[in-house]
Structure 1
């Protein structure tokens, strides 16, 4: 097996955030791996990310990845069990809702209707692979249309 290079992606605008969103599509996490440091105004989340960049093989690979978002003003969630740290969520997408420039909200959409909203001063995010990849049990599938 050829060594798989870890990714390190920074986002400072909407286009950058869409690249991070694509890299995190179908990533899974336990809610206990989400942290908001109110004093530092920083949100971090650790995901098991499907490595879409590895091509169209039949099985694919996953890796642990950390997402860091700075400049947080407020965090809100909807349909996420905050009292269940073992609960598993699957990320569908990250989007940006503009507010007073350069601020706005980074919106996390999860399968099953869960949502997370991070009100931010500006887009300031970093996604980094933090572990060696392992073979995925299956490749995520999406309905056409």
Structure 2
């Protein structure tokens, strides 16, 4: 999950591109991820990607308004906190303290790049915490 989180750091997510399918125990979202591999070669690019989790038993959001489908969030990290092994909680951490918490039976996730890559206006930057 740490590798997935690293690839998705600073991905842009539109609320309308997030889906919780409780009957299928699936949570999915489409993201516009920054291409960190290209950044190492001086390229500023983004690409469309999909991320989904299976065996999801619950989904809760923090600081995400229910109706605002066009609201945009920046994904900072994806983490896992174990409860009763192998179950636990996957948290998608977004900018401004927003988050989505998924109760999972175990970690079953897949990330896939979709479609073409395009030039980005800038490389994401983070303030120095020190």
Q: TM-score, normalised by structure 2?
A: 0.95
Instruction: Report matched runs for 1:8-27 at 5 Å.
Output: 17-27=1-11
The reply to whether residue 37 of structure 1 matches residue 12 of structure 2 is no
* Equivalent pair of 1:35/1:44 in contact (CA under 8 Å): yes
Tell me what 1:114 maps to. 98
Give structure 1 stretches of 5+ with no counterpart.
Answer: 1-16
**How far off its partner does 1:55 sit?**
3.4
**How far off its partner does 1:131 sit?**
1.3
Q: TM-score, normalised by structure 1?
A: 0.86
Q: Distance in 2 between matches of 1:60 and 1:93?
A: 20
Runs of 4+ in structure 1 over 4 Å off? none
Return the structure number with greater strand share.
Answer: 2
Change (3 A) 1:55 1:137: closer
* Equivalent pair of 1:42/1:68 in contact (CA under 8 Å): yes
Give the aligned CA root-mean-square deviation in angstroms: 1.0
Specify the SS of the correspondent of 1:132. Answer: strand
Give structure 2 stretches of 5+ with no counterpart.
Answer: none
